[in-house]
Amino acid sequence: MNEFARGQGTGGSGYGAVGRADMAVDAGLRGFMLGVYNKMALGLALTAILALAASNNAFGLMPGLTQTLFTAPLLYIIMFGPIALLLISSFAMRNPSPVMANALYWGVVSLIGVGMGALVLVYARIPNGMELIAKAFFITSAAFAGLSLYGYTTKKDLSGWGSFLIMGVIGLVIAGVVNIFLKSSALDFAISAVGVLIFSGLVAYDTQNLKTSYYQFRGDKNSMSVATSYGALSLYINFINLFRMILSLISPRD
């Protein structure tokens, strides 16, 4: 960029062209990130709608729906469906089209949304349970906004965080499985506390990766569309997991 400017001589026109190019890149990046955030926000809205519908018999329109959803075999499809979709897509969608990436995003969001209905059911039965959900959501939203802004604006290279954060997620999964049998409230608290740190790091890390994706795929509409869907998916999953960890931390343990 500087060489281009020097090639234009000492006059103002060369530097003006560089300035306009920088502004175009910045505007394009902002537009790309806005598209990711908007898609993620729509995913969260759909999650809330599906969770409320699943936990309230679809608002009375389909009596017995809740019991049907949260008993086998549908329960296992809802629980493990998102993981299965992500694993299958990682092998079957080597070069995903915008349509396939979009379908993956909304498929995962829909299954997680229905699954969150079980969480709503549990908290609806404890004192101030719905207030706890609302509180956790607002805390998560504020934390997510700050962390994603940090990932977007920081000049520090966060790529070195990747392997550490992935190992942390694997550790959380293993600890969670172990605690199914131990039923230890102390271990549950530790998992939630460490989980908040890990998914907080992932929000910043994935946000910076999205900037890298923009510069890599800029000008390729199909690749940009796929990157928007995958970017929204990664941030959505981070948000949901961060929300669950924060909700667990602020919930009573008796």
How many other C-beta atoms lie within 10 A of the C-beta of residue 48? 15
Q: Which helix (H) or strand (E) holds 64?
A: none
Q: What is the pLDDT along the chain (254 residues), one digit of tens a residue?
A: 443 333 334 344 443 443 443 444 588 899 999 999 999 999 999 999 999 888 875 444 455 666 777 777 788 888 889 999 999 888 887 789 999 999 999 999 999 999 999 899 889 888 899 999 999 999 999 999 999 999 999 999 999 999 999 999 999 999 999 998 998 999 999 999 999 999 999 999 999 999 999 998 888 899 999 999 999 999 999 999 999 999 999 998 76
Separation of alpha carbons 84 and 77, rounded Å: 9
Task: Please check whether residue 195 lies inside any domain of the structure.
Answer: yes
Task: Please check whether residue 2 lies inside any domain of the structure.
Answer: no
| pLDDT given for residue 4 in this prediction | 34
Task: Please check whether residue 7 lies inside any domain of the structure.
Answer: no
What is the token pair recorded at 243? Answer: 């929300």
| pLDDT given for residue 90 in this prediction | 85
Domain membership of residue 140 as a residue range = 14-250
Separation of alpha carbons 46 and 151, rounded Å: 26
Task: Please check whether residue 3 lies inside any domain of the structure.
Answer: no
Q: How many residues does the chain have?
A: 254
Task: Please check whether residue 129 lies inside any domain of the structure.
Answer: yes
The total number of structural domains in the chain stands at 1
Closest Cα to residue 117, out of 201, 47, 199, 215?
A: 47
| pLDDT given for residue 10 in this prediction | 39
| pLDDT given for residue 182 in this prediction | 92
Task: Please check whether residue 110 lies inside any domain of the structure.
Answer: yes
Provide CB contacts within 8 A for 139, sequence distance 6+: 246, 250
Separation of alpha carbons 99 and 141, rounded Å: 29
Compute the Cα dihedral for 209, 210, 211, 212 and give only its sign: positive
Compute the Cα dihedral for 229, 232, 238, 241 and give only its sign: negative
Compute the Cα dihedral for 179, 115, 141, 144 and give only its sign: positive
Task: Please check whether residue 108 lies inside any domain of the structure.
Answer: yes
What is the token pair recorded at 112? Answer: 């997680």
| pLDDT given for residue 26 in this prediction | 80
Angle, vertex CA 157, rays to CA 154 and CA 161, nearest 5: 110
Closest Cα to residue 149, out of 198, 208, 235?
A: 208
| pLDDT given for residue 62 in this prediction | 53
| pLDDT given for residue 116 in this prediction | 94
List Cα–Cα distances, 41 to 28, 190, 243, in angstroms: 20, 29, 14
Task: Please check whether residue 6 lies inside any domain of the structure.
Answer: no
